[in-house]
A and B are shown apart, each in its own frame.
Chain A
Amino acid sequence: MSHAHTQLPDDERIKSRSRLREALIRPELGGIVGTIVVFALFAVFAFDSGMFKSQGIMNWSQVSAQFMIIAVGACLLMIAGEFDLSVGSMIGFSGMMIAMFSVTLGWPVWLAILVTFVLALAIGALNGFIVVRTGLPSFIVTLASLFILRGFTIYFPQTIERKTIIGGVSEVAQGDWLAAVFGGKILTGLFTWLGNAGLIATFDRGLRKGQPVVDGVPMLIVWALVLVVIGHIVLTRTRFGNWIFASGGDAQAARYAGVPVNRVKISMFMFTAFCATVFATCQVMEFGSAGADRGLLKEFEAIIAVVIGGALLTGGYGSVIGAALGALIFGVVQQGLFFAGVESSLFRVFLGVILLCAVILNTYVRRLITGER
């Protein structure tokens, strides 16, 4: 086939483009440029602050990984043409459910996690179902779930336990196989070796004297990378990925072409709920407690990361790798400002300005290379 292909005369409907240009025209290019700029800036202004030592790297990596997990879900949903504003509330809700099932009701932790995932997927499906059935903007529908879920997250522990933070998850999660998948650490041997070799910082005192301060890669980061890779492959290499683009580009045209738009959208709502629950589970397993205020405003942070990463708010265009880079930029900027010693009351001003710059740069780069108006 490919042999026959090359022998065809040039088709006048296909514009020829150079290889370099082909390689550059990607939604994630802006994200790549932004990442380089951000790292260069902090390397200049915060190099001596510990930001690029093992502890500092782990700090912004974890924050970025958190953003990445919810950004992957938000990105695919946005490409499919919808929003989910209930991500933050879903994080609080899922975390609380895991804590209540395992601590208050005394279920084994793996069961608590599995039931919570089923519950979250059901809520995601309900969100999607309401959106496709009523034709209402997803903005409004998920805004309602934002309030409903947050309300339950405060109500349940408040009525049952008389408090809004449920602790003690670490104790019951001890030795649980599924808890380790979310809260464990890998490569601990490597880090111990690095610590012994004096390559990374170790504790100076206490029971853990001599052990490395950073003793492994948390599963949070592994989850983020796995979700990014899977999301990227599904979006760019599968038929389902094409359906996602088609549903967000022009839903009606996609329907005529036989794309099951409703099913695609509902499954994307379920996927954002899944990502939010992964976030929540990692958080609960790491910190050992669930609180009613967890995940506040995270839905906007997810959307910001996705937009920095080059996706269009209107749907039909974007990339998972771009969203991941957007999450990295957001995380590095947020933590980097602390390292650079920026006055704390001006912190949000800086954050806002830098994020705006990142999006403008990104849009500019994209227009430059795609020739879009």
Chain B
Amino acid sequence: MTSLMKHLALAAVVAAAPLMAATTASAEGEKYILVSHAPDSDSWWNTIKNGLALAGKQMDVQVEYRNPPTGDLADMARIIEQAAASHPTGIITTLADYDVLSGPIRNAVDSGIDVVIINSGTPQQARDLGALMYVGQPEYDAGLAAGQRAKADGVKSFLCVNHYISSPSSTERCQGFADGLGVELGNQMIDSGQDPSEIKNKVLAYLSANPDTDAVLTLGPTSADPTIQALEENGMAGDIYFGTFDLGEEIVKAIKAGIINWGIDQQPFLQAYLPVVVMTNYHRYGVLPGNNINSGPGFVTADGLEMVEKFAGEYR
């Protein structure tokens, strides 16, 4: 009988442990919640999660990652409201759409929660909302810089594979690239969807319909990985000019193999890691850097890939 009781007690403790852990940790330290706009299917955000977890461990604070499962920004607004209602020490959030998210973010700021804007949005918008700072890569400028670089390499036309067409910042990247080249964006941007085989087939279809396309621009691993496969399949790999935003394991391999000319690294690790460090120090000692932090853009080419290769998909 007593052994049965023991078993029951043990089972109860095991079942309750995860919940206990969550409550005891928040009782003594600071708690930061990172809210992103990324759907569950976007693997790029893994780096953000890892950066966040590492910062939480190093600074000895509690961190949480939240996102709308389908990427629906109205759902994201609810998540920010929810995060504010649970009264963390600070909220780190992306600003994918100012109209939708500005209300909830301002409410959080006004109810005494410090906010850092990361990844999307602009430094100006972050200031308007009363956020502490902005950590990220201005998207249009990054696209423009990439376009100018491609123009110098002799590119005149391109295909932009947009896998997240509902986010304005994705379109800005393509628009910036077109402006950098000095051409009209027109029909050179395709809505590829999120499914790898769908993306691959759309790229193949576009390139066979427009065989004289000079360059391909992808917006992250979600669109880059299937595009690499598509180019290998139709024999254009290594021949067509190929640039991509963001890094990932397959992208790094392709840079090394000479299929991709360059990758634009916005260093998402820093976007998750730095806000936690900055805010923890701000809340503990009252010190705060006096400006926004640009985490990118940096161009990654075949030179000096070792470090990138080692940590691709994890911290890079």
Contact between B74 and A294, CB atoms less than 8 A apart:
yes
Name B67-95 residues within 8 Å CB distance of A: 67, 69-74, 77-79, 81-87
Partner of A165, one of B40, B77, B99: B99
Partner of A62, one of B19, B78, B86, B166: B78
**Is B107 engaged at the interface, CB distance under 8 Å to the other chain?**
yes
Contact between B112 and A51, CB atoms less than 8 A apart:
no
**Is A24 engaged at the interface, CB distance under 8 Å to the other chain?**
no
Contact between B66 and A287, CB atoms less than 8 A apart:
no
Known: A204-B111, A338-B86. A293 touches B81 (CB 8 A): no
- Which residues does chain A contribute within 8 Å of B315, judged by CB atoms? none
- Which residues does chain A contribute within 8 Å of B85, judged by CB atoms? 50-51, 53, 55-56, 58-59, 339
Q: What are 19 A-B contacts defined by CB distance under 8 Å?
A: A51-B85, A56-B82, A59-B85, A162-B175, A164-B168, A165-B97, A167-B97, A201-B111, A204-B111, A288-B100, A289-B100, A291-B97, A291-B100, A293-B166, A296-B72, A335-B82, A339-B86, A341-B22, A344-B64
A280–chain B nearest beta-carbon distance, Å: 10
A113–chain B nearest beta-carbon distance, Å: 18
Report the separation of the CA atoms of residues A204 and B109 in the bound assembly, to the nearest whole angstrom: 9
Q: Interface residues, chain B, CB within 8 Å of chain A?
A: 18-19, 22-23, 26, 40, 64-67, 69-74, 77-79, 81-87, 97-100, 103, 106-107, 109-112, 130, 165-168, 171, 175, 185, 191
- Which residues does chain A contribute within 8 Å of B103, judged by CB atoms? 286-287
Name A179-221 residues within 8 Å CB distance of B: 201, 203-209, 213
Known: A158-B191, A339-B82. A213 touches B111 (CB 8 A): yes
B229–chain A nearest beta-carbon distance, Å: 25
Partner of A50, one of B22, B67, B72, B86: B86
**Is A49 engaged at the interface, CB distance under 8 Å to the other chain?**
yes
Name A62-109 residues within 8 Å CB distance of B: 62-63
Count residues of A near B (Cβ-Cβ below 8 Å).
53
Contact between A296 and B70, CB atoms less than 8 A apart:
yes
- Which residues does chain B contribute within 8 Å of A288, judged by CB atoms? 99-100
If A165-B99, A204-B112, A344-B65 are given as contacts, then 5 extra A-B residue pairs at C-beta distance below 8 Å, sorted by A number, are A154-B165, A154-B191, A164-B166, A213-B111, A289-B99
Contact between B110 and A51, CB atoms less than 8 A apart:
no
A69–chain B nearest beta-carbon distance, Å: 13
Closest B residue to A203 by CB, please name it.
Answer: B110
- Which residues does chain B contribute within 8 Å of A342, judged by CB atoms? 18, 22
- Which residues does chain A contribute within 8 Å of B112, judged by CB atoms? 203-205
Contact between A63 and B78, CB atoms less than 8 A apart:
yes
6 tightest Cβ-Cβ pairs between the two chains A and B: A289-B99, A341-B22, A204-B112, A293-B166, A167-B99, A206-B110
Q: Interface residues, chain A, CB within 8 Å of chain B?
A: 45, 48-51, 53, 55-56, 58-59, 62-63, 154, 158, 162-165, 167-170, 201, 203-209, 213, 283, 286-289, 291-297, 335, 338-344, 347-348
A67–chain B nearest beta-carbon distance, Å: 12
B185–chain A nearest beta-carbon distance, Å: 8
- Which residues does chain B contribute within 8 Å of A162, judged by CB atoms? 171, 175, 185
Partner of B72, one of A51, A63, A205, A294: A294
Report the separation of the CA atoms of residues A289 and B85 in the bound assembly, to the nearest whole angstrom: 24
Partner of A203, one of B19, B69, B99, B111: B111
Closest B residue to A99 by CB, please name it.
Answer: B99
Closest A residue to B19 by CB, please name it.
Answer: A45
Contact between B86 and A56, CB atoms less than 8 A apart:
yes
Contact between A170 and B99, CB atoms less than 8 A apart:
yes
Closest B residue to A153 by CB, please name it.
Answer: B166
- Which residues does chain B contribute within 8 Å of A207, judged by CB atoms? 110
Contact between A59 and B23, CB atoms less than 8 A apart:
no
B201–chain A nearest beta-carbon distance, Å: 17
Known: A164-B171, A287-B99, A344-B66. A338 touches B72 (CB 8 A): no
Contact between A59 and B81, CB atoms less than 8 A apart:
yes
Contact between A338 and B66, CB atoms less than 8 A apart:
yes
Contact between B110 and A204, CB atoms less than 8 A apart:
yes
Contact between A283 and B82, CB atoms less than 8 A apart:
no
